[in-house]
Amino acid sequence: MKISIAELYQKYERKEELEGLEVTIEGYIKNSRFLGQVGFLSVNDGSSFLNLQAVFDVSKFSLENAKLGASIYLEGKIHITEQAKQPFELNVTAAKVIGPVSDSYPLQKKRTTFEYLRTIPQWRMKTNTFNAVFRVRSTLAYYIHQYFHENGFYWIHTPILTANDCEGEGQTFNVYADLKKPTEFFNKDNVHLTVSGQLHVEPFALTYGKVYTFGPTFRAEKSNTTRHAAEFWMVEPEIAWAHLNDNMDLMEDFLKYVVKHTMEDCKADIEFFNERVDNHLIERLNNFLSNAFIRLPYTEALKKLKEANDNGHHFEVEDFNFGLDFGSEHEKYLTEVIYKGPVFLTDYPKDIKAFYMKQNDDNKTVGAVDLLVPFIGELCGGSERECDYDKLLKRMEELHMNIEAYQWYLDLRKNGSIPHSGFGLGFERLVMLVTGMSNIRDTLPYPRCYKDMLF
Ligand code: 4AD
Ligand code: MG
């Protein structure tokens, strides 16, 4: 019977069914070694982080070309060994190398740097680290959909091509069918790749109650950091009849669910990351799951930072006046030094946030929330939305926005307007959080970053 290595490990939970089982395995060689007349192949078929050890009689099989990276077909019988590292093995009865490897195979047994592996994205998923990264990435995506499905959300497919700039930052990639006639195709001045599905998803929230988007987004930010990509995936839930606290409750419940289930499903992968990439990973993830996230208004955070500064902590930017847009040094200090865990920062100055956010009564702040986490910084950004037509219009005028282009959005506040809220999760930053990988380029199958795109 043809079976995957993952299925064999599942069957190991009912060992009696496994002993003596005759199976066919198709995989790739991770390692080969010989002890006298006995050969040992470590085989991985991609279904699990874990390998299968195949044992064979060297005099019966000529497997000289069974080298690291070669593909192999195996038949044999499973034997339970009860050894911790390899609780069962395959006693080979038939074997054939299907695709041997050439001398130029770029992955050798010695450890290679992540920088080097970034130059060969078509191969790096075969290394232990990246094999685990993309498995975790897929599992996280699965549980994101599962969480929303279980909680009555509808998945809305918002467009990638758009004429709006949701965040109003102007950091968009423009789209033309013909450079010489840029407006011809859509008969629009300004068509670009979406920076966020929020504006398009809001009308759906105002009908279905609970909705989300999950898809690629694009930002032409010229920032060459370890946390910014030009093409990344975003998850954007939007909920009706909901204020800022409801938004934070959702964010916390959602993230804890997704992280918890992924840790369970990808146990071997996460243990590997903890051992080889970041020794504090599991401890940090357990803290993430077991403690309530801190909720802190911006003005309080400002006070805490000023206090730290007065007590001698040096920051690059030390102007702690209302209006400061926190840099990563400030975010790090809050999450890593003061609170040692995730922090919801709320009620930011309106001038450093997007036009659509709910205006607070103080006329200075808006109902914004950023979720900051240790070592990553901003994981999610969201807000309650301004649902009063006049207030929203006034703010858009202050910002000299093209009202006509956004009239469709404004009109949502004219007919059956209700309080509603939502947020955006940077999916790659979640992958970083769960794997301990410290560069966003190492969470994307084919990273597209500033001055950085291979093929
Ligand atoms: O904070 P942002 O800009 O919020 C929005 O776009 C809202 N419209 C979301 C909403 O309320 N529906 O982006 C949301 C998240 C950030 O917190 C960050 O995690 C991620 O998206 N993000 C990026 N991730 C990777 N590379 C980039 N260049 C990113 N820019 C934002
Ligand atoms: Mg943000």
Provide mean pLDDT across the span 139-153: 98
| CA 422 to ligand 2 centroid distance, Å | 12
| CA 317 to ligand 1 centroid distance, Å | 23
Under CATH, which architecture does the 124-442 domain have?
2-Layer Sandwich (3.30)
| CA 380 to ligand 2 centroid distance, Å | 7
Calpha distance 195→407 (Å, rounded)? 19
Provide mean pLDDT across the span 321-333: 96
- pLDDT bracket for residue 263 (50, 70, 90): very high
Provide mean pLDDT across the span 44-52: 96
Q: Can you give the length of the chain in residues?
A: 455
Calpha distance 161→15 (Å, rounded)? 53
pLDDT at 109 over 80: no
Residues 11-27 have pLDDT tens digits of: 998 888 899 999 999 99
Residues 194-233 have pLDDT tens digits of: 999 999 999 999 999 999 999 999 999 998 999 999 999 9
pLDDT for residue 41 = 96
Q: Which residues line ligand 1 (CB under 6 A)?
A: 166-167, 196, 198, 219, 221, 228-229, 232, 234, 236, 378-383, 422-424, 426, 428-429
Q: Whose CA is nearest to atom 4 of ligand 1?
A: 381
**CA distance from start to end of the chain:** 39
Q: Whose CA is nearest to atom 23 of ligand 1?
A: 426
Higher pLDDT residue, 63 or 354? 354
Asked if the 5-105 domain carries CATH number 2.40.50.140, the reply is yes
Which residue from 234, 358, 451 has its CB within 8 A of the most atoms of ligand 1, so it is best to mutate? 234
Whose tokens are 């929020």? That residue is 198
Domain ranges of the chain: 5-105, 124-442
Note whether 413 and 202 are within 8 A (CB).
no
Q: Whose CA is nearest to atom 26 of ligand 1?
A: 228
pLDDT for residue 311 = 95
Half-sphere exposure of 445 toward its Cβ, with a 13 Å CA cutoff?
8
Residues 171-182 have pLDDT tens digits of: 999 999 999 999
Half-sphere exposure of 70 toward its Cβ, with a 13 Å CA cutoff?
22
Amino acid type, 176: Y
In 3D space, the residue among 28, 41, 112, 110 whose CA is nearest the CA of residue 76 turns out to be 41
pLDDT for residue 108 = 84
Burial class (CB in 10 A: 0-12, 13-18, 19+), 179: exposed
- Ligand in nearest proximity to the CA of 166: 1
| CA 449 to ligand 1 centroid distance, Å | 15
Amino acid type, 371: L
Provide mean pLDDT across the span 139-154: 98
Calpha distance 228→218 (Å, rounded)? 11
pLDDT for residue 262 = 98
Calpha distance 237→221 (Å, rounded)? 24
pTM: 0.97
pLDDT for residue 164 = 87
- pLDDT bracket for residue 111 (50, 70, 90): confident
| CA 441 to ligand 1 centroid distance, Å | 16
- pLDDT bracket for residue 321 (50, 70, 90): very high
Q: Whose CA is nearest to atom 9 of ligand 1?
A: 424
pLDDT for residue 168 = 83
Mark 35-65 as b/e (b = at least 16 C-beta within 10 Å).
eeeebebbbbbbebbbbbbbbbeeeebebee
In 3D space, the residue among 97, 16, 13 whose CA is nearest the CA of residue 54 turns out to be 97
Beta-bridge mates of residue 383: 368, 422
Burial class (CB in 10 A: 0-12, 13-18, 19+), 305: buried
| CA 37 to ligand 2 centroid distance, Å | 61
